[in-house]
Structure formats: structure tokens, C-alpha cells
């Protein structure tokens, strides 16, 4: 009976990781669209430079494509999953730097914190599944 439960647990982990990668890809795409298309309008609301918002948004499109690709493979590549995790850690670090180095509005601070928390939750779920 133990031999039957081990593959099932592996499949569940892989399936969950694949879903987490797809959610991460979707959030990257959505945030990228919001930031790149609305950079000028968001700049005054968030108190962040329009160029920062535009380039951060544009940078998220290839990331979203990579995450979707890694998540769509029959078997999730450990290297691809780890690269996604390291990228998310970099995004969280960058978010902290934005808060420390710039002076966003209250809404800007809330936005930066909220998206960093979402990324951190995805990071945590990914690490749990990879490091089991």
C-alpha cells in the first residue's frame, strides 16, 4: 500500500507546483499589463516614477511566458522551478528597495506591499513543494 501512496503524493506535488507556476504566470502577466499600460496614470497615484512602472511591467511579460512554459511541461524541471523561486525572491527584494529608496504614496506603499505578499505566498508554496 505504501508503494501506491508514494507516486500519488509525487503527482499531487507536481500538479500543485504546476498550478502555482500558472498562477504566478497569470499574476505576472496581469501586473505587467497594469504597470506597462497604466504607467503614466499610476505614477501620480502610487508616487512612483512612470519609467520604473513601465519597465517593471514590461519585464514581467517574458517572466510570465517562462513561468507558463515551465508549468506546462509534462514534468516540472527542478532547475526551472528554482529559477522561478529565485526570480520571485529578487522581486520581493526589489519591492523592499522601492519602499526604502523611494517615497510612494500610501496607495503606492499598499500596492508594493500587496504584490510582494502575493509573490511571497507563491514563493512559500513553491519552496514547500520542491523541498518537501
Q: Residue 13 — pLDDT band, cuts 50, 70, 90?
A: low
- pLDDT of residue 3 exceeding 50, the answer is no
Q: Which pairs with CB-CB distance under 8 Å and at least 24 residues apart come from 29-34?
A: 29/60, 29/61, 29/64, 31/57, 31/60, 31/115, 32/57, 32/58, 32/59, 32/60, 32/61, 32/63, 32/64, 33/57
Q: How many domains does the chain have?
A: 1
pTM of the model: 0.81
List the domain range (segments joined by +) for residue 11: 2-131
What are the pLDDT digits (tens) for 61-117? 999 999 999 999 888 888 888 898 899 899 999 999 999 999 999 999 999 999 999
Amino acid at each position: 500500500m505504501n508503494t501506491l501512496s508514494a507516486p500519488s503524493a509525487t503527482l499531487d506535488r507536481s500538479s500543485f507546483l504546476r498550478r502555482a507556476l500558472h498562477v504566478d504566470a497569470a499574476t505576472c502577466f496581469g501586473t505587467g499589463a497594469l504597470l506597462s499600460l497604466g504607467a503614466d496614470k499610476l505614477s501620480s497615484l502610487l508616487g512612483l516614477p512612470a519609467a520604473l512602472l513601465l519597465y517593471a511591467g514590461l519585464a514581467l511579460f517574458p517572466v510570465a511566458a517562462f513561468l507558463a512554459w515551465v508549468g506546462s511541461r509534462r514534468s516540472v524541471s527542478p532547475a526551472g522551478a528554482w529559477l522561478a523561486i529565485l526570480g520571485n525572491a529578487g522581486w520581493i527584494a526589489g519591492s523592499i528597495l522601492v519602499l526604502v529608496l523611494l517615497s510612494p504614496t500610501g496607495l503606492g506603499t499598499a500596492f508594493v506591499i500587496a504584490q510582494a505578499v502575493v509573490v511571497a505566498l507563491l514563493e512559500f508554496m513553491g519552496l514547500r513543494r520542491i523541498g518537501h
